[in-house]
Amino acid sequence: MSNLPETAQALLKPEIYPEPTKNVRLVQTQMSFVFITDRYVYKTKKSVNLGYVDYTTLEKRKFFCDKEVELNKRLSPDTYIGVIPITKKDCQLTLGGDGEIVEYAVKMKILPLDRMLDVLLKENGVTDDMMPRVAAKIADFHSKAETGNVINDFGKVELINHNNEENLSQMAPYIGRTLTEREYEKIAYFVRSFTKENAVLLENRVKEGKIRDCHGDLHTAHICFQDGLIIYDCIEFNDRFRYCDVASEVAFLAMDLDHNG
């Protein structure tokens, strides 16, 4: 673990946490360090620029930590506790404290892995009442989600076509590796034909206010049947990934449900 940043190394030590914990487990993603203690989860953002996300300054990481909590409270108000500064004083790092702020962490409650929808599906643990509850919660969320002129732009045919072409250009280098040229051409034909044939429908969706500030990453691993129903881990780092037609978000979840049987 010596290759970890100083703050990440410090957060591996149980004594740094304000509440007693015997265990600290680190899970890394492309963009985050996730520290799982006995009672809580602390997430810090890596100093990375991946094009679609830029966390390269402390100011930006603070901004997106705040935004992560704010946006996720829409669907899981009690899960996200807040943003905690990591400070340094006399060469000692502390969660909170009055020293120089060197990093920020999102603090949230632990959610049980065995109550995640993807796990329940694999274990045949989904009961008849569960999916109607998911549908009702998503429908209510979408009905109240923000909309407006800026958000509406993301539902226009021109931008949908731009996004499709960008996706296709990013897929092209993988022809012959993860998909065949025939599969690629089939996908390209479908997405181009769909927007062309449904241009009027898509324009009407914008007029009807169906383009909303959605979750952005709504799949089964982000749905937890704990304390009722919790939907968490929405996209905070790129508005473009959240601003979409509510039907697109539902379709994304439906696709993952198909994948998980």
pLDDT confidence of residue 97: 85
In eight-state DSSP terms, residue 54 is B
Under the banding of pLDDT at 50, 70 and 90, the label for residue 212 is: very high
% the chain with pLDDT above 90: 95
Beta strands in the chain (DSSP E): 25-28, 32-36, 40-45, 80-89, 92-95, 100-109, 211-213, 223-224, 230-231, 243-245
pTM of the model: 0.92
- Structure tokens of 88? 């340094």
Under the banding of pLDDT at 50, 70 and 90, the label for residue 3 is: confident
Residue 1 has pLDDT above 80, yes or no: no
Contact (Cβ atoms closer than 8 angstroms) between residue 220 and residue 131: no
pLDDT confidence of residue 227: 87
Rounded CA-CA distance 32/42 in Å is 10
pLDDT digits (tens, 9 = 90+) for 53-91: 999 999 999 999 999 999 999 999 999 999 999 999 998
Alpha-carbon radius of gyration of the chain: 21
Contact (Cβ atoms closer than 8 angstroms) between residue 82 and residue 73: no
pLDDT digits (tens, 9 = 90+) for 108-142: 999 999 999 999 999 999 999 999 999 999 999 99
Mean pLDDT over the full length of the chain:
96
Which residues fall within 8 angstroms of residue 244, CB to CB, at 6 or more apart?
A: 154, 155, 211, 212, 214, 216
Residue 261 has pLDDT above 90, yes or no: no
Mean pLDDT of 82-103: 94
